[in-house]
């Protein structure tokens, strides 16, 4: 998914953005008054690959977390970053916070965020978007899943508040401590 800034949008408040976006056909992220269109310029095969990986990961998390306090959200649910006056769309997010239990459009207290990255979106998702997500105090892990190879990176907040990263490739088993979830990476890439 390619992210492009639209210079001609007026500055909006968060409330104005939520009201405006609810009436749009496309999805838009909101960064301190700026609106970013979530444009997809991928060919159908790339879009299908992205969606299949995201769906597999969602299904695996949902099956594991179904009877827990955690709730899994897909790419239709935004994450509000209160500290930066922002709303972003991750591919997947998980919250175990009671304040997010009844969320429909956005959550504010995720413990895990997953982004499925393409070569065109990786710079934004590793850079500016991760910088925003790091401000969420409840976020424990951030996962970037590659679409051009079997591999992912797990960023883990350590006791000092810094972020450690572990990379995984085909054949590896990943552990997401934030949600007590272990899975073979190849299952995320099935089909």
Residue 22 backbone phi and psi in degrees, to 5: -60, -20
What percent of the chain stands above pLDDT 70? 92
Looking at 2.40.110.10, 3.30.460.80, 3.90.1570.10, 3.30.470.10, the CATH number of the domain 42-188 comes to 3.90.1570.10
CA angle 135, 129, 180 (to 5 degrees): 65
Query: Does the structure show a pLDDT above 50 at 6?
Result: no
pLDDT in tens, 35-59: 888 865 555 667 789 999 999 999 9
Q: Any idea which residue has 């009671």 for tokens?
A: 98
Q: What is the mean pLDDT of residues 56-85?
A: 94
> Rounded CA gap, 16 and 174, in Å?
40
The pTM score is 0.91
Average pLDDT of the chain is 90
Q: Any idea which residue has 């500290």 for tokens?
A: 83
């Amino acid at each position: 998914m390619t992210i492009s800034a639209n210079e001609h949008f007026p500055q909006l408040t968060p409330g104005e953005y939520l009201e405006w976006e609810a009436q749009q056909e496309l999805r838009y992220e909101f960064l301190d008054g700026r609106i970013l269109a979530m444009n997809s310029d991928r060919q159908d095969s790339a879009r299908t690959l992205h969606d299949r990986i995201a769906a597999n990961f969602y299904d695996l998390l949902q099956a594991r977390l179904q009877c827990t306090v955690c709730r899994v959200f897909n790419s239709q649910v935004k994450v509000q970053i209160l500290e930066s006056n922002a709303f972003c769309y991750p591919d997947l997010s998980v919250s175990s916070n009671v304040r997010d239990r009844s969320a429909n459009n956005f959550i504010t207290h995720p413990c895990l965020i997953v982004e499925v990255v393409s070569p065109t979106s990786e710079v934004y998702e590793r850079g500016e978007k991760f910088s925003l997500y790091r401000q969420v105090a409840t976020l424990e892990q951030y996962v970037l899943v590659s679409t051009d190879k079997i591999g992912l990176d797990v960023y883990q907040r350590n006791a000092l508040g810094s972020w450690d990263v572990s990379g995984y490739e085909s054949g590896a088993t990943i552990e997401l401590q934030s949600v007590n979830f272990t899975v073979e990476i190849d299952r995320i890439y099935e089909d």
